[in-house]
Amino acid sequence: MYFEKDIDITRNIKIIEWLKSELLTDIASLFKVLVNGMREDIHEAVSDTLANIILISYLIGRRLGMSYNSIEMKIEKKVKLGLIENHDVEKYYGDLSELSRHLNSSRVKRQ
């Protein structure tokens, strides 16, 4: 029994390390793509890379014992805080308001 627990812990650590390296690879890819400027022909590559970064972030959180729901709740709290503090991205572009509406509409669709 003890041996199986050690194997599971070791496997979990290996997966976390692999996910971390994937995250770094995707961040490096994003930076490479952005060096060339945001053009229409790279829009797909950027959205694909950002989706990978978000997915990997969720998976790392899960491997570290957090639920997907708790991660989403933290995101929502950060959005609300940014709205209250009138973060620059909100003040100049309204991005946090738009993200808040998106998150709320996604939740309504799931229910």
Whether 10 and 39 share a structural domain: yes
Confidence at 2, pLDDT banded by 50, 70, 90: low
Whether 3 and 46 share a structural domain: yes
Whether 55 and 107 share a structural domain: no
**Contacting residues for 31 by C-beta, under 8 A, at least 6 apart:** none
Give residue 90's pLDDT.
Answer: 94
pTM attached to this predicted model: 0.85
Whether 56 and 7 share a structural domain: yes
Whether 6 and 57 share a structural domain: yes
Q: What is the pLDDT of residues 51-104, one digit of tens each?
A: 999 999 999 999 999 999 999 999 999 999 999 999 999 999 999 999 999 998
**Cα(102)–Cα(6) distance, rounded to whole angstroms?**
42
Whether 51 and 105 share a structural domain: no
1 pLDDT exceeds 60?
no
Give residue 37's pLDDT.
Answer: 73
Number of domains into which the chain is organized = 2
Whether 37 and 20 share a structural domain: yes
Give the domain range for residue 111: 67-111
